[in-house]
Amino acid sequence: MSDPGGTKFADWQAIRELTATYNRCFDKSDAAGWAGTFLESGRLEIIDQEVTYTGRDQLSEFCRSRGWGILHMTLDPEVTVDGDHAEQRCNLLMFRRYESQERPTLLATGRYSDRLVRTSNGWRFAVRQVQLDTRLGAREEVSP
């Protein structure tokens, strides 16, 4: 017997795994891996900075330009799946890691609002918008 909710749960899990891959790849400066979480034409929109990065080349360059030191955590996901399209909203905690400090410092909080598309290689971000609502700790450009 098939479970109609099972497919949606599998999609939810795959989207959460994609989000975790996004976080891990950015945090270890894996630009190709991070850009690969997006469609070829995917976009990252940083709302409070009024900046948009479009396509995997721009996305890769953005990730490379940030280097090591950011630590992303995404929490409280709300995922809605409609066939081969999905939306996700989740909260963001962003930390700054320093080689000289034992513990990371909270840098920012915010929210992601995502539009995703199912591809032959799994779910990918079509558009990922981030709205940062606080900047704490060091005064620097934040890298969602």
pLDDT digits (tens, 9 = 90+) for 91-126: 999 998 887 777 888 889 999 999 999 999 999 999
Beta-strand pair 38-46/105-119: unpaired
pLDDT for position 134: 63
pLDDT score for 112 = 98
Residues in the chain: 144
Residue with tokens 């598309």: 117
What confidence score (pLDDT) does residue 5 get? 53
8 A C-beta contact, residue 35 and residue 121 = no
In angstroms, the CA 125 to CA 58 distance is: 15
Continuous segment of H or E residues that includes residue 105: strand 105-119
Task: Give the Cα separation of 13 and 32 in Å (integer).
Answer: 22
Q: Say how far apart CA 104 and CA 113 lie, in whole Å.
A: 25
Ramachandran angles phi, psi of 138, nearest 5°: -65, 140
CB-CB contact of 81 with 11 (8 Å)? yes
Mean pLDDT, the chain cut into blocks of 10 residues (144 residues total): 61 97 95 97 93 96 88 94 96 87 86 98 97 62 54
Q: Is 78 exposed, middle or buried (0-12, 13-18, 19+ CB in 10 A)?
A: exposed
